[in-house]
Amino acid sequence: MSRRVIFPDPQIWTRKENTMTNPDHVQPRDIRLAAVLIKHHLTSNTAGQVEVIRETVDTDRATALLAAVLDLHAQFVTQTRNQVGLDFFAEGIHALGEFDPVDEIGQDLLNAIAVVEGHGTGDIAAINEVLTKVRAQGRGTQLMINILDVFDHALPELSSHAGIRWLDATVAEILSSGRETGQ
C-alpha cells in the first residue's frame, strides 16, 4: 500500500501581516451574521447593526464578517448583472470615490469605496491598507456601515422584498452546501 504525503499550503498555517489573508476563513456563523447585518442595515436598525459588529469584534471575527459581507454582495452583483452591467457597476463604484473628503465622514466613505473596489478587483493590498488605517483610527464600525451604505446606493434592488428573499435563499444554500463564500 502506497501512501501519499500531502503538504498543506503554508498560507493556511501562517499568520501574515496582511489582515485579509489571515487563516481565519469565513465560517457559516460569519455568513449568517453578515446576512443579519445586511438586513438590519436595509431596515435602518442601527442598534442591530452595532450589536452585530460589536459581537464580531468581541469574538475577533470582524475581518471574517467583512469578508462575508463583501462576498454576499459580490454574489448578488454577479448573479443579477450581465457583463455590461458588471462593467457599469464597477465604473459606478469607482466614480463614487472621486471626491476630496472635507471631514471624517467623507474619509469614511472613501475608505468604504476603496474596500469595495479592492474586493471587486482582488486588490488585497488596497484593502489591507484601508483596514490598517481604520484600525489605527478606531473607525472600524464606521467603515462597515459605510460599506453597507455604498452597496445600498449601488444595489437598491437588494432592499426589495425579492432582494431579501434572494439573501435568505443564498445564505441557506451556502450553509446547506457547506461551502464558504468567495468560492
The single-letter code of the amino acid at 54 is: R
pLDDT score at 17: 52
pLDDT in tens, 125-165: 999 999 999 999 999 999 999 999 999 999 999 999 999 99
Residues near 55 by beta carbon (within 8 Å), at least 6 away in sequence: 33
pLDDT in tens, 165-180: 999 999 999 888 765 5
How many residues comprise the chain? 183
pLDDT in tens, 66-79: 999 999 999 999 99
